[in-house]
Amino acid sequence: MQITKDKLILFTLIVLVFIAVFTNLYLIDNEVYAGSSASVKKGIEAYEQGKYEESMKNFIDAQLERPELPELYYNIGSAAYKKQDYESALNNFTRAKETASKSNKDNQNKDNLLRDKSIYNLGNTKYRMGDLEGAVKEFEQIPQTSQLYNEAKENLEFVKQKIEEQKKEEEQQKDNKEQNKKDDQKKKEEEQQKDSKEQDKKDDQKEKDNQNQEQKEQQEQKNKDDKSKQNKNSQDNKDKQDNQEKQEESGANQEQQNREQKTPQQEQPSAEQEEQQKEKQSQQKEEQAQAGEPSEQNNNNQKGDETQQQSRQHLLNRLEDKPGSAMMPVYKEQPVLKDW
C-alpha cells in the first residue's frame, strides 16, 4: 500500500507538471494572437471603410508579430490590390499561396480555400498587370472541387478571349504597320518620282534658259559683229571717199599749179586772136577818129576788160572739165591797169 501511495503521489506530480507546461504555451500563444488579432481587426475595419493604406499598415503590423500566418499575407495583398499597388499585391498573394500550401501539407489539412483564394487573386493581379498568359496559368490551377472554380472558369474564359482579341489586334497592328510601311514606301517613291520630275523639269528649264542665253549672246555678238562690220564698211567708205576727194582736190591743185606754172607765152592769145584784136582796135580808133574823141584811157580800159573776159572764159572752160572747182577760185597775177 505504501508503494501504491508513493506511485500515486508521483503520478499526481507528473500530471501537474504536464498541465503547467501546456498551460504556459497556450497562454503565450494566446497573448501573441490577441495582439495580432487587434491589428487585424483594425485592418479589416479600415479596409471596409476604403482606407486601404491604413488597412495595409495594420495588417503589416500583425504580420510582423505572426509571420507564419498566410491569412496576414493574403490580407496585405488584398489591401495592396485595392490601392492598385499590384506589385506588392503580387508578392503578398504569392507568399500567402506558398505559406498556405506548406501549412496544409504540414497539418494534413484538406481545406485549401485560402490557397485557392490566393491563386484566384494572383490571376486577377496578373491580369491587371497585363500578364494575360500568367493569369491563365493561375486560374487553371484552381481545381473543380474548389468553391472558386466557377468564378475562376469565367475569368479564365474572359482572359483567353482577351488574349485572342489581343492577338488579332497585334496582327491587325502588324498588318497596319506593314501596310503603313508599304504606304510610306509608296509615298516615298511617289515623292521621289515627283522630285525627280520636278528636277528634270528644272534641268530642262535650266537647259532651255542656257540655250536661250547662249542664243541671245550669239545674237548680241552677231549684232555687235554686224555693227562693227557696218561701222568698218562705213569708215572704209568714208576713208575711200575722203581719199577720193583728196585725190580730186590734189588733182585740181596739181592742175591749178600746172596752169599757174604756164609761161607767159602760153597764156598770150593766139595769132588769130591778136589779129582779130588788132582789127577791133583799129576799128575802134577809126570810130573814135570819126567821133573826134580819141582817148588813151578808154583804150586801156578796153584792153583790161578784154583781158578779164579772157580770164573768165578760161575759168569757165576749166569748170566744165572739173565740176566742183568753182568753190576754189584761181588766184593769179592780173595786169595792173593804169589810168595815167
294-325, pLDDT tens digit by residue?
Answer: 445 555 556 666 666 666 666 555 555 555 54
- Residue 248 pLDDT class (50, 70, 90 cuts): confident
pLDDT of residue 324: 52
Instruction: State the Cα angle at 293 between 290 and 298, rounded to 5°.
Output: 115
- 181 and 140 share a domain? no
**C-beta of residue 151 within 8 angstroms of C-beta of residue 120:** yes
Q: Is the pLDDT of residue 188 over 50?
A: yes
Sequence-ordered alpha helix ranges (H) in the chain: 2-48, 52-65, 70-82, 86-107, 113-128, 132-140, 149-260, 264-267, 271-291, 296-321
Identity of the highest mean pLDDT range in 4-13, 73-82, 199-208, 230-239: 73-82
Tell me the average pLDDT across 36-47: 87
pLDDT of residue 27: 26
Which residues span the domain enclosing 74?
A: 18-147
Average pLDDT value over all residues in the chain: 76
128: Cβ–Cβ under 8 A, 6 or more apart, which residues? 81, 84, 86
Q: How far is CA 216 from the centre of its chain?
A: 34
Cell, residue 178 = 506593314
pLDDT of residue 125: 96
* Proportion of the chain above pLDDT 70, given as a percent: 67
- Does residue 268 fall inside a structural domain? no
- 132 and 181 share a domain? no
Domain of 26, CATH number, reads 1.25.40.10
The lowest-confidence range among 73-87, 230-244, 282-296 is 282-296
pLDDT of residue 16: 39
- Does residue 315 fall inside a structural domain? no
- Does residue 102 fall inside a structural domain? yes
- Does residue 254 fall inside a structural domain? no
- 185 and 90 share a domain? no
**C-beta of residue 114 within 8 angstroms of C-beta of residue 70:** yes
- 113 and 199 share a domain? no
Provide the domain count of the chain: 2
Among 221, 242, 266, which residue terminates a domain? 221
- 113 and 27 share a domain? yes
294: Cβ–Cβ under 8 A, 6 or more apart, which residues? 285, 288
- 140 and 66 share a domain? yes
**C-beta of residue 76 within 8 angstroms of C-beta of residue 56:** yes
- 24 and 99 share a domain? yes
Tell me the average pLDDT across 36-43: 84
Other C-beta atoms closer than 10 Å to the C-beta of 98 total 14
Among 221, 249, 271, which residue terminates a domain? 221
Residue 79: which of 109, 54, 61 has the closest Cα?
54
- Does residue 96 fall inside a structural domain? yes
pLDDT of residue 33: 39
pLDDT of residue 118: 94
Half-sphere exposure of 126 (CA within 13 A, CB side): 20
pLDDT of residue 14: 41
Among 95, 117, 147, which residue terminates a domain? 147
pLDDT of residue 321: 53
- 81 and 197 share a domain? no
Q: Is the pLDDT of residue 23 over 50?
A: no
211-242: pLDDT as tens digits: 888 888 888 888 888 887 877 777 777 878 87
- 171 and 89 share a domain? no
- Does residue 104 fall inside a structural domain? yes
- 25 and 71 share a domain? yes
- 33 and 135 share a domain? yes
- Does residue 196 fall inside a structural domain? yes
Q: Is the pLDDT of residue 20 over 60?
A: no
Residue 70: which of 81, 79, 80, 59 has the closest Cα?
59
- Does residue 216 fall inside a structural domain? yes
- 73 and 98 share a domain? yes
**CA distances, 215 to each of 273, 325, 334 (Å):** 79, 53, 72
132-147: pLDDT as tens digits: 999 999 999 999 999 9
